[in-house]
């Protein structure tokens, strides 16, 4: 894995559809109508169903597992993940990031990355940072 | 039995009928996906649980611990849903090649057990907004382990714009006490 500033993380693409949203509802127990009920969601300001926010966190974790492997759950940090725009069924999203640099925190050296999930129109739906402890 | 009623739904049971009347949209929609994914027990749970209202969210208040077994079934369900097929979740030989003694549970499951940990006895009122979330991983959880997940309200206040802000602190440990993850979840609660 490249850890120099500016190095790209892998890129994962995901097709979001209502079936995946329903599967996440089943997995997480979150059956909020905004996610699972197209008729209800049409009447909300979102004008349709949207994916659950935590599903995006799962995608970011997948990205970090691909990039850092077993070092990720052994000490990784996913920081300041913000949900900027809804992700809708029918959208193909890109999950990726960039290495920002190294920093020393909590007595360890970390590689810090900027992560984001981008919608087809280029809008960043989710943004955050990740830190992975550098190998000793 | 109506074609719109999910398999296993006891059509002659009046209690169940009352339940169905509580979800007219569910039963009027001709969406096979709904029937495929929504078990009646989960829908019943939703109807019976009270909403978690802001007034109950007192800083420091703990929720009862969630026992969360990392079963193979759950791992496969997660992998199928997310599309995350990392070999370390299922390939023991690959795990051993990397010096691990067993397969790992997907760290992204923390996004699932974090929410469940404060909603075991309540349902979420509609209209809330998940603002921000943070994860710290301490040690990898392994397939077959059982996690104990403890959530508490860290902050609950009304901000300068009149929004009800809530922060949950969620800590997962494996049995024996070793920490697995610490999660902070920042939300705006519905009015």
Pair B145, B66 in one domain: yes
DSSP code at position A90: T
In this prediction, residue B28 carries a pLDDT of: 42
For residue A93, list its beta bridge partners: A14
> What does the pLDDT read at residue B26?
44
Whether residue B63 sits in one domain with residue B20:
no
Q: Does some domain include residue B114?
A: yes
Q: How many angstroms separate the Cα of A49 from the Cα of each of A39, A92, A95, B49, B133?
A: 9, 15, 21, 23, 22
Contact A75 B107 (CB under 8 A): no
Q: Is there a single domain that holds both residue B110 and residue B149? A: yes
Chains A & B: contacts with CB separation below 8 Å: 144
Long-range contacts formed by B3-11: CB under 8 A, 24+ apart: B4/B28, B4/B29, B4/B30, B4/B35, B6/B34, B6/B35, B6/B38, B6/B39, B6/B40, B7/B35, B8/B40, B9/B40
Asked whether residue B1 is assigned to any structural domain, the reply reads no
Pair (B76, B164) in one structural domain: yes
- The domain spans of chain A are 12-16+52-133
Residue B4 lies in a domain: no
Cβ B38–A40 below 8 Å, yes or no? no
Closest chain B residue to A15, measured at CA: B83
Residues 1-40 of A with CB under 8 A from B: 14, 18-20, 22-34, 36-40
> Which has more pLDDT, A16 or A3?
A16
Of A20, A79, A83, the CB nearest to B130: A83
Residue in chain A lying closest to B115 (CA)? A28
Measured between beta carbons, the chain A residues lying within 8 angstroms of B137 are 72-77
Asked if residue B149 is part of any domain, the answer here is yes
pLDDT of A2: 82
**pLDDT, tens only, A89-136:** 999 999 999 999 999 998 999 999 999 999 999 999 999 999 999 976
Q: Read off the pLDDT of residues B71-124 as tens digits, 9 standing for 90 and up.
A: 999 999 999 999 999 999 999 999 999 999 999 999 999 999 999 999 999 999
Distance CA A23, CA B1 (A): 25
- A82 lies within 8 A of chain B by CB: yes
Report the C-alpha gap between B20 and B27 in whole angstroms. 7
CB contact under 8 A, A61 and B107: yes
Name chain A contacts of B70, Cβ cutoff 8 Å. Answer: none
CATH 3.40.50.300 fits A12-16+52-133, yes or no: no
For residue A116, the distance in angstroms to the closest alpha carbon of chain B comes to 13
Q: Looking at the structure, do residues B96 and B177 belong to the same domain, yes or no? A: yes
Question: Would the CB atoms of A74 and B25 count as touching at under 8 Å?
Answer: no
Inside any domain, residue B78: yes
- Considering the domain architecture, whether residues B91 and B131 belong to the same structural domain is answered as yes
Could you give the CA distance from residue B170 to residue B153 in angstroms, rounded to a whole number? 9
Which one, of B167, B124, B5, B159, lies nearest residue A32 by Cα? B124
Could you tell me if residue B29 is inside a domain? yes
* Structure tokens, A33: 């109508």
Asked whether the beta carbons of residue B139 and residue A74 sit closer than 8 angstroms, the reply is yes
A31 contacts B46? CB cut-off 8 A: yes
How many residues make up chain A in this entry?
136
pTM across the whole model:
0.86
How far off is chain B from A58, nearest CA to CA, in Å?
Answer: 4
Find tokens 């000793």 and name the residue: A136
Give the number of domains in chain B: 2
Is B153 inside a domain boundary? yes
| The pLDDT of residue B16 | 36
Return the pLDDT at B41: 54
Please answer whether residues A135 and A121 qualify as being in contact, where contact means their C-beta atoms are separated by less than 8 angstroms: no
pLDDT of B63 reads 98
Phi, psi for B130 (deg, rounded to 5): -85, 115
Enumerate residue ranges in chain B where pLDDT < 50. Answer: 1-32, 35
Q: Within this chain, do residues B64 and B20 fall inside the same structural domain, yes or no?
A: no
Same domain, yes or no: B162 and B128: yes
DSSP secondary structure letters along B58-88: -TTPBPPPEEEE--HHHHHHHHHHHT---GG
DSSP, collapsed to helix, strand or coil, labels residue B109 as: helix
pLDDT in tens, A12-71: 999 999 999 999 999 999 999 999 999 999 999 999 999 999 999 999 999 999 999 999
Q: In terms of residue numbers, what domain contains B158?
A: 54-189
* CA-based nearest residue to A82, from A128, A115, A120: A128
Res B136: pLDDT: 98
């Amino acid at each position: 894995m490249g850890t120099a500033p500016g190095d790209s993380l892998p890129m994962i693409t995901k097709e979001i559809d209502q079936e995946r949203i329903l599967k996440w509802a089943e997995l997480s127990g979150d059956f909020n109508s905004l996610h699972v009920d197209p008729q209800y969601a049409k009447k909300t300001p979102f004008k349709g169903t949207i994916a659950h926010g935590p599903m995006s966190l799962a995608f970011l974790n997948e990205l970090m597992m691909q990039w850092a492997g077993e070092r990720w759950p052994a000490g990784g940090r996913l920081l300041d993940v913000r949900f900027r725009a809804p992700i809708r069924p029918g959208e193909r999203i890109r999950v990726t990031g960039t290495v920002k640099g190294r920093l020393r925190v909590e007595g360890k050296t970390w590689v810090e990355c900027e992560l984001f999930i981008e919608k087809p129109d280029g809008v960043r739906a989710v943004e955050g940072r990740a830190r992975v402890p550098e190998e000793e | 039995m109506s074609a719109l009623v999910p398999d296993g739904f006891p059509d002659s049971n009046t209690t169940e009928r009352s339940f169905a009347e509580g979800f007219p949209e569910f039963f009027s929609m001709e969406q096979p996906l709904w029937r495929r994914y929504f078990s009646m027990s989960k829908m019943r749970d939703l109807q019976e649980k009270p909403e978690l209202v802001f007034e109950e969210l007192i800083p420091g208040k703990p929720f009862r611990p969630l026992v969360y077994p990392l079963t193979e079934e759950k791992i496969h369900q997660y992998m199928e849903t997310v599309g995350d097929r990392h070999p370390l979740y299922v390939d023991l030989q690959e795990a051993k090649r990397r010096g691990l003694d067993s397969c790992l549970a997907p760290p992204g499951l923390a996004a699932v057990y974090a929410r469940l940990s404060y909603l075991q006895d309540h349902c979420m009122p509609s209209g809330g907004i998940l603002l921000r979330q943070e994860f710290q991983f301490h040690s990898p959880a392994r397939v077959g382990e059982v996690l104990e997940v403890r959530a508490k309200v860290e902050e609950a206040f009304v901000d300068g714009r009149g929004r009800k802000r809530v922060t949950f602190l969620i800590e997962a440990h494996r049995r024996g006490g070793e920490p697995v993850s610490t999660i902070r979840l920042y939300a705006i609660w519905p009015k």
